[in-house]
Amino acid sequence: MLEACNLQRNPFTKTEPKDDAIDQVFVGREAELRDAAWRVYDGPRNLLVVGGYGYGKTTFVRKLLRELRMTKQVSFLTGYAALQHDSPDGFRLAALTALVEGALATASPDTGLHDFALKSWDELARLEPDARGPRVPDLRFRHGLELARAAGIHRVVIAIDEIDKRDAQVVQGIVMGARSLLDTDASFVLTGRYMDVFTDIRSSLLAAFDHRLELQPFEPEDLVDILRRNLATFRRRSEEPPTLAPFVTEVVEAIVDRCGGMPRPLNLMAYAALEELLQTQHPLSEQAIRVTPEHLDRALQKEGNLIYSGLAESERELLAKIFRRNSYVSGADLGELDPVRGLPGAVQNMEQLSREDALLRLESSTGPAFQLSPLIEPVFRGLRQRKEQLKALWLEASSPEVSDEEGQLLEDFAAEFFKESFLVSERNARTGTEEIDLILRPSRESDAVFRKSSYLFVECKNWRKQKVNQEVVTKLVGILQNRRLKQGFLLTTGSFTKDAVQQARSFYQTTELELILIDGKEMMAFLDDLRSVSDFLSSLHRGQVLQLR
């Protein structure tokens, strides 16, 4: 299929491009590159590259280092390393690693700089993953700078990446503790985020940086060029002029429109859409080989589900609040999303979600703004549509026109409801003396708290004229014991008596048996919000079981 697309592989990745591909795929930012290069050309200066997550800061910095190495008039030694440990020592270790890698690539053999790099590299390579590094790495680093000058190196530029993915207070401690390195004859290039530690800390720390370069979102034509260049780089046969095949025009326009001017979501969407084509279209199919809007929609739903399933329940709730605000929030509305910590807390939470590709970090006239990512928004649209379907079934089952004795409609609802988080193994399971409405098995969507046994049961009571009483709870707990089950659900369109609730609680406290009670009021509240079935059932488990144990 790749050959039919005239591609060696999927040219879009979920990670940064490799060094040998940066020159081919890098687009725009010419003015910013010239500005950054001039800042370190005349002498050692520290540069802070600022932008939201997904703006391409890492690719920009790596491209800058490549451009500096190719400079003829001035000899540059450049090095790049990611921060591995959240401490000043971790920063020093990253700086030494970058210097050593740069020296190995630049220094001639049989020179003091090359010998230093070989010895240091050998020691760094033998470190355990959580080791603190060689002793006094700052002295090692300064010695390396002296050897670089002796070898005729005019400028040393060190880029430390991943520091912008840390909490603001952590970054402050790291930079303050490593300030002595920032004041050496090397130029340091660091990446930072909007509204983080670099924009509001005391001036003594900010003075460690001589220049702040802010990356802006890409223009639509540049985004299209990014797609075109990525495809051209991995063509089996060159094309003149380069095309966007197999992407149809509607897909290109949709990807560019939804990415918010950011290269990361652009690459993620293009990657997922092309993978969907490669996985679903048969090589011998007579259909034209092209990425269509249908491929894109399915791909975004799949990728979004992966992101959504990896989030904490509180993070999902925050995203749901943003979805209800038309998927966009800015200004004073940000503070309302975190009543306890206000604006700083809300921004911190949403910065974290942007790193997980759940949000896009934007700018507005009133400051920071966030928008649901094009990968997550389809998940909430699908969730809302599914909730509407479930609500229709629930309203039909609980209609006053339906008699309490007619339980089939409620069982139909329960089957649809629970299959969102479990596998429905059997309906109306019968033994000699018992009948169980639903038998469930845990699935990948089931929360860990519901995996204590291989099977769970559901009993439905379509009782609106009378409350479910203690006798019903006692009988169902007996079924749990007889079938050697540990967990079950009791669902009613009405409510429970106080004795029934207390009876269930007594079993939680004295045995391992868990009968989760779901009444009509709780179910209706769930159907009106945007929680998943798994999150809803987990919250009931916490409220009814965990707080009593």
Shared-domain flag, residues 65 and 113 = yes
Is position 4 within any domain? Answer: no
**In the predicted structure, residue 404 carries a pLDDT above the cut 80:** no
The position carrying tokens 């509204």 is 195
| 288-to-123, 275, 283 alpha-carbon distances in Å | 55, 16, 10
CB atoms within 10 A of CB 329: 26
The position carrying tokens 């400079």 is 71
Q: Is residue 279 helix, strand or coil? A: helix
Shared-domain flag, residues 147 and 163 = yes
Last residue of a domain, one of 182, 197, 214: 214
Question: Percent of the chain, pLDDT > 90?
Answer: 43
The per-residue pLDDT for range 105-150, each reduced to its tens digit, is 988 888 899 999 999 888 887 765 555 555 557 788 999 999 999 9
Per-residue pLDDT band at 202 (split at 50, 70, 90):
very low
Pairing assessment for the beta strands 187-192 and 155-161 based on DSSP bridges:
parallel
Is position 116 within any domain? Answer: yes
Give CA angle at 487 (484, 490), nearest 5°. 120
CATH number of the domain that residue 322 is part of: 1.10.10.10
**In the predicted structure, residue 195 carries a pLDDT above the cut 50:** no
What six digits make up the tokens of 255?
């990807």
Shared-domain flag, residues 325 and 291 = no
Is position 12 within any domain? Answer: no
**In the predicted structure, residue 201 carries a pLDDT above the cut 50:** no
| 135-to-2, 123, 424 alpha-carbon distances in Å | 50, 11, 60
The per-residue pLDDT for range 335-344, each reduced to its tens digit, is 888 888 888 7
Last residue of a domain, one of 214, 245, 268: 214
Is position 96 within any domain? Answer: yes
In eight-state DSSP terms, residue 489 is E
Among 60-74, 83-97, 351-365, 371-385, the range of highest mean pLDDT: 371-385
pLDDT average, residue stretch 83-103: 89
Among left, alpha and beta (phi > 0; psi -120 to 50; other), residue 545 is alpha
Shared-domain flag, residues 160 and 33 = yes
What six digits make up the tokens of 199?
């924009």
> Which of 83-92, 119-128, 369-378, 380-389 bottoms out in mean pLDDT, i.e. has the lowest?
119-128
Shared-domain flag, residues 334 and 466 = no
**In the predicted structure, residue 196 carries a pLDDT above the cut 50:** no
Cα distance between residue 32 and residue 127, in whole Å: 37
What six digits make up the tokens of 202?
């005391």
**In the predicted structure, residue 215 carries a pLDDT above the cut 60:** yes
Is position 360 within any domain? Answer: yes
Is position 5 within any domain? Answer: no
Closest CA to 461 of 422, 500, 419: 500
Question: Which residues have a Cβ under 8 Å from the Cβ of 184 and sit 6 or more positions away?
Answer: 44, 141, 142, 145
pLDDT average, residue stretch 521-544: 92
Shared-domain flag, residues 436 and 474 = yes
Helix (H) or strand (E) holding 519: none
Number of structural domains in the chain = 4
Q: Which domain holds residue 111?
A: 29-214
In eight-state DSSP terms, residue 312 is -
Per-residue pLDDT band at 451 (split at 50, 70, 90):
confident
Is position 332 within any domain? Answer: yes
Shared-domain flag, residues 191 and 262 = no
Shared-domain flag, residues 393 and 470 = yes
Closest CA to 49 of 41, 153, 39, 467: 39
Shared-domain flag, residues 505 and 449 = yes
pTM: 0.78
**In the predicted structure, residue 284 carries a pLDDT above the cut 70:** no
pLDDT confidence of residue 199? 47
Question: Which residues have a Cβ under 8 Å from the Cβ of 246 and sit 6 or more positions away?
Answer: 5, 274, 277, 289, 290, 291
What six digits make up the tokens of 50?
């600022």
Shared-domain flag, residues 210 and 226 = no
Cα distance between residue 501 and residue 544, in whole Å: 9
Pairing assessment for the beta strands 456-461 and 422-430 based on DSSP bridges:
unpaired
Shared-domain flag, residues 193 and 135 = yes
Packed helices 313-324 and 533-544: angle between N→C axes, nearest 10 degrees: 130
Pairing assessment for the beta strands 328-330 and 76-82 based on DSSP bridges:
unpaired
Is position 44 within any domain? Answer: yes
Mean of the per-residue pLDDT values for the chain? 86
Please, what's the largest Cα pairwise distance for the chain? 93
pLDDT confidence of residue 203? 41
CATH number of the domain that residue 389 is part of: 3.40.1350.10
pLDDT confidence of residue 498? 94
Helix (H) or strand (E) holding 283: none
> Which of 170-174, 347-351, 390-394, 434-438 bottoms out in mean pLDDT, i.e. has the lowest?
170-174
Q: Which strands sit side by side in the sheet containing 456-461, from one edge to the other?
A: 422-430, 435-442, 456-461, 487-492, 514-518
In eight-state DSSP terms, residue 206 is H
pLDDT confidence of residue 547? 61
CATH number of the domain that residue 100 is part of: 3.40.50.300
> Which of 255-269, 361-375, 463-477, 495-509 bottoms out in mean pLDDT, i.e. has the lowest?
361-375
Cα distance between residue 178 and residue 146, in whole Å: 19
Per-residue pLDDT band at 430 (split at 50, 70, 90):
confident
Number of H helices, E strands in the chain: 23, 13
pLDDT confidence of residue 133? 53
Last residue of a domain, one of 171, 190, 214: 214
Shared-domain flag, residues 181 and 315 = no
